[in-house]
Chains A and B, each alone.
Chain A
């Protein structure tokens, strides 16, 4: 068997072994990978950075624990930025299993800055039927959420007194791993035209770039890479940047595999001629 034939018919267990090593290496040897910040992530960062203290910003934690790995770092970094800038986030979730998780993230970050529920932030909780909930929030937050997560009527929450619908907010970001993102574009932006940004999982990213191009969303954070970019901008020490070495080694290995396999393929074609 010639070398190129060997290369083409390599036992795939070698591939698995090499990839396995690539996954483990960053855990053993720590190294730094520079993260290139893309304009669509920077736009989200700049948008929040340009808000004034006291401005109200909506953060939708619309994912469930299954996609926690990719979207949790974004939620932490964004809420951290809001609290650091004294911006008041209104948080709700459209995911059935997201309510407890969202509460945990929010209260954790809020505690770091000594922020108080009702004064510095408001957590509305969960409502089913994402499309309808978004439309109703466009009418008045009081319709889908007469009370916040803790049972306080919205009208008795100081920061919500003059907040009725999206017109009273500076903007919206939804972090989601499913159809909620699409609902935000269709029923949120499509009807109420508020500035909208999305955080999505890596596999969903390709589907949402066109909305960026068309201007329906002003920013997009995708996957663990997007989360890392955001952390790089906010200088928040989270899971996003920590995952980047793993992503880098595995990506490089897969790209190398494709190149090696093509070299083998070309060599074998040439020798056949």
Chain B
């Protein structure tokens, strides 16, 4: 029974929102917005769950694993500082300690991790861009042509320019649209499986 009720809720909500898509009326708009509000409410209610999970995990790591104690400590310290400085309503105003920490500590750290991407692109290209087979060679050749067009010195010739225009708007576009059709159908199929209760692994135990 515990498992039946969620399944019925899924079935009813699923069908209601499919029908809603085809009805432009005022009432139907209201149902849609009401549903969206619920998603937000659930998200906010789940937040303490996330914080509890984080605190418990990090605390246990600090206690049980001496090797990782330092890192867990840094993490908890950061959590405490951001929470304490962010408690006041004014802390979201420019110039507050919270915003200063956000702007001059968090954002630069994020930018640093993002910039790792440049290095990883180099090492991934070194490892993956090899002419292993006929198809891989074709890919390598195409990539080279496109890159020569996009580097600062490019396009190296008018032929290069025209060829890249064609590559991007014909084969590239065709492949993308093909993938998108597949993804669209796959998404609908998954929805039908969920609405009909065929796929229920995400629902948990009885």
Contact = CB atoms under 8 A, between A and B. Distances in A.
Interface in A195-222: 202, 205-206, 209-210, 212-214
A248 B152 contact: yes
Contacts of A258: 125-126, 129, 140, 144
Given A34-B153, A251-B147, A262 B165 contact: no
Contacts of A266: 131
Nearest to A260: B126
Contacts of A23: 118
A132 interface: no
A195 to B, nearest CB: 20
A197 B169 CA distance: 17
A255 B125 CA distance: 9
Interface string A126-165: 0000000000000000000000000000000000000000
A213 B169 contact: yes
A261 B127 contact: yes
B119 A261 contact: no
Interface residues of A, number: 39
Contacts of B165: 209, 212-213
Interface stretch (A9-17, A56-64, A170-178): A9-17
B172 A206 contact: yes
A257 B169 contact: no
Contacts of A252: 151
B186 interface: no
Interface residues of B, number: 30
A224 to B, nearest CB: 9
Contact of A38 (B118, B123, B161): B161
Contacts, number: 87
Instruction: Determine the main DSSP class of A at the interface with B.
Output: helix
B169 A255 contact: no
Nearest to B169: A210
A205 B165 CA distance: 11
A12 B131 contact: no
Interface string B170-189: 00110000000000000000
Contact of B152 (A33, A205, A254): A33
Contacts of B146: 206
A265 B131 contact: yes
A38 B168 CA distance: 16
Given A16-B123, A36-B155, A255 B147 contact: yes
5 contacts: A23-B118, A36-B152, A36-B154, A257-B125, A261-B125
9 closest A-B pairs by beta carbon, nearest first, are A210-B169, A209-B168, A213-B169, A12-B123, A251-B151, A257-B126, A265-B130, A258-B129, A248-B152
